[in-house]
Homo-oligomer: A and B are copies of this chain.
């Protein structure tokens, strides 16, 4: 009966405000506290506090003709202790009040009608602070004549016992369990249902699962999901280790320190970043940069080198130790880049600079390095290794088009380990590396599952090589290796039969379900049945398919898709472009899979690609502290478990010297 009463009251009190058109994330009332309620911290983790007092001029939350009360205050205290002013508590000066306004739509109807709601804001930010003592803290913002917004934070009681000296985190971007299942069957042969070989991931001594939802939406992007993994704080879409406040600006948002930054600050250790994406992309950027707008590539690159600068305090950052990936276009001298060549600038800061795999392999392991091996994203594993004709589309950092010696994830990762290890050894520290299999996601967006699975297998191959290499250099016992994803995306077809039919509906008869789905024909040569027990070797070696283009293929289908044409065959000529736009949104691309059948999408027609799903994603761990990564957890728990394994949460952290 209590529940029913609550329901009735709530129905009466319910406003017309729509959740998909939020005034500001994590502001349940007109006063906002960042970091928000129910956030955990590593002891000594650096962060900013921001408070906002808002007054909408009109709409369902209109307040005082849009005039926020200037007499607001924010207090903080440990559990049970008296609250005191935040400036007193932290021993910091009272910052200046910001005054500004923004507008938003309350819902789709308001948006359709162009009926904006203006909101006036007063705000303050308290910068570069830390909480060292484990326990709960209460924050109370009082504003607008007695309204309050409260937040409870907890500094976690982490064990004071170092398990790992080094850490390597692999991110399979968009790698849901269904992708791992599919990749396994492509590359690993079964006999009567028994796998004759397994993915390296399958052998992890610790296996878990993590929930990927973000602060204010269930479907995340790479920026806020990676920020959650690396800071232990859920963010808003597009946010990189910074909460999205109401300013609409990309900088000066409230920031949170990542475990990689803490590792550098506290231990003086090496930090390296590897990605197959353009290197200013969200996942690599989440290692150590701070902005609510992931598209601020120039600023992200600047932060890689010099950390957060500007007219507010943040701890000093002496630059990443290595940066390997794509995206050379953001490093070229040009109008959008202040006519400065970042290549020359980084070289002047002591970085070796390389543009192809030969130069990568020739890097001196004792020196810092910048390796940008392409414009845009590095070519997919499939394009690099199987359908090499497609490399004619590749673009060198200098802008030339055509095939050249690009590295893959494995080449970049192993060289990164050599450099980080050599430099760490010389300085008596450990090392940390984030290596991203970025194209799993990017290829799933364009519904090109073959290319996505190729890069997933490349990740598994890289993982296998990494564990072997760590053993060779004597660091296996000291290195925690974690593999996970940031979110998910997410049948069999007789392609020969499909191609032979002319009508759309007849083509679909080629899709097999249940017993007609068959075995994986990727592990046998064309023309050999998968029931054949012979172990065939892939031209690309163990861990890869024998053929990528069998008559019987896995059919591609998942959760959130645009209009597209499907023929369930690999596109050997180019990555897919499933939909093309016209004046009323995206439609089937008639040039994509022209022999296939048309399939209506299930997402907004303004989206031309598939989108992320909310599925939990797997976690695999090896090495010291691996046992912390078992079971079902949240994405934020990854950060806390990394911090625990690396002992970054000692109640009194000491900042260690770092030698470039």
Q: Which residues of B contact A177 (CB under 8 A)?
A: 176-177, 209, 615-616
- Scoring A22, A514, A616 by chain B CB atoms within 10 A of each residue's CB, the highest score goes to A514
With A511-B604, A560-B491, A632-B204 as contacts: A209 and B618 at CB distance below 8 Å:
yes
For the complex, is A28 an interface residue (Cβ under 8 Å from B)? yes
Task: Establish whether residues A217 and B517, one from each chain, have CB atoms under 8 Å apart when the complex forms.
Answer: yes
CB of A654 closer than 8 Å to a CB of B? no
Query: Contacts A6-B536, A178-B559, A614-B181 given: A508-B191 contact, CB under 8 Å?
Result: no
A585 to B519: give the CA distance in the assembly, Å: 26
Interface band, chain A: 35 or more
Q: A217-B517, A218-B185 are in contact. Are A631 and B532 (CB under 8 A)?
A: no
Q: Are A185 and B517 in contact (CB under 8 A)?
A: no
User: A605 within 8 Å of B by Cβ?
Assistant: yes
Stretch at the interface among A70-78, A89-97, A156-164, A595-603: A595-603
List A220-260 residues whose CB lies under 8 Å from chain B: 220-221, 228, 234, 236-238
Contact of A193 among B202, B206, B234 (CB under 8 A): B234
Interface segment, one of A131-139, A472-480, A550-558, A643-651:
A550-558
Flag whether A426 is at the interface (Cβ < 8 A).
Answer: no
Contacts A11-B525, A37-B533 given; indicate if A207 touches B208 (C-beta within 8 A).
Answer: yes
The smallest C-beta distance from A423 to any residue of chain B, in angstroms, reads 35
Which of A12-20, A326-334, A392-400 sits within the interface?
Answer: A12-20
A325 to B194, CA, bound (A): 33
User: How far, in whole Å, are A182 and B532 apart by their CA atoms in the complex?
Assistant: 40
Q: What chain B residues lie within 8 Å of A554 (beta carbons)?
A: 218, 614
A593 interfacial contact with B, CB 8 Å: no
Given A39-B192, A490-B178, A600-B600, does the pair A19, B511 have CB atoms closer than 8 Å? no
Q: Is A44 an interface residue (CB 8 A)?
A: no
Partner of A614, one of B182, B539, B560: B182
Cα of A41 to Cα of B630 in the assembled complex, Å: 29
Q: Which residue of B lies closest to A150 (CB)?
A: B533
- Chain A 493-533 interface 0/1 with B at a Cβ cutoff of 8 Å (1 = within): 01001001000010011111111111111001111111111
Asked if A45 CB lies within 8 Å of chain B CBs, one says no
Question: Quick check: B237 and A515 within 8 Å, CB to CB?
Answer: yes
User: At the interface, yes or no: A38 with Cβ under 8 Å from chain B?
Assistant: yes
Nearest-Cβ distance from residue A59 to partner chain B, whole angstroms:
13
A233 smallest CB distance to B (angstroms)? 9
State which residues 24-46 of A face B: CB under 8 Å. 26-28, 36-39
B529 touches A219 (CB 8 A): no
* Contact present for B192 and A37 (CB under 8 Å): yes
Give the contacts of A603-630 with B (CB-CB under 8 A).
Answer: 603-607, 611-616, 618, 630
Contact with B along A455-491 (1 / 0, CB 8 A): 0000000000000000000000000000000001011
Question: Which residues of the other chain, B, contact A11 by a CB distance below 8 angstroms?
Answer: 525-528
Residue ID in chain B nearest A557 by CB atoms: B559
Taking a contact as CB atoms under 8 Å apart, the answer to whether B216 and A519 are in contact is yes
Expressed in whole angstroms, the Cα–Cα distance for A525 and B603 within the complex equals 26
**A 167-207 binary contact with B (CB < 8 Å = 1; else 0):** 00000000011101110110000111111000001111111
Q: Cβ of A347: which chain B residues have Cβ within 8 Å of it?
A: none
Cβ–Cβ contact B17 & A492, under 8 A: no
**A211 near B: Cβ within 8 Å?**
yes
Complex alpha-carbon distance, A552 and B14, angstroms: 14
Given B3, B601, B634, which contacts A536 in the complex, CB threshold below 8 Å? B3
- A659: chain B residues within 8 A (beta carbon): none
Within 8 Å by CB of A219, from B20, B201, B513, B607, lies: B513
Q: CA A619 – CA B191 in complex, angstroms?
A: 24
Residue of B with least CB distance to A191:
B38
Known: A194-B38, A213-B185. A14 touches B528 (CB 8 A): yes
24 contacts between A and B (CB under 8 A): A3-B536, A6-B525, A19-B531, A22-B531, A26-B531, A37-B533, A38-B192, A39-B192, A178-B613, A181-B614, A185-B213, A193-B213, A193-B215, A194-B234, A207-B631, A207-B632, A219-B514, A508-B601, A508-B602, A509-B604, A514-B612, A557-B560, A600-B600, A630-B630
Minimum-distance CB pairs A-B, first 3: A14-B527, A193-B234, A3-B537
Known A20-B512, A177-B177; further 4 A-B contacts with Cβ < 8 A? A3-B539, A209-B618, A491-B603, A491-B611
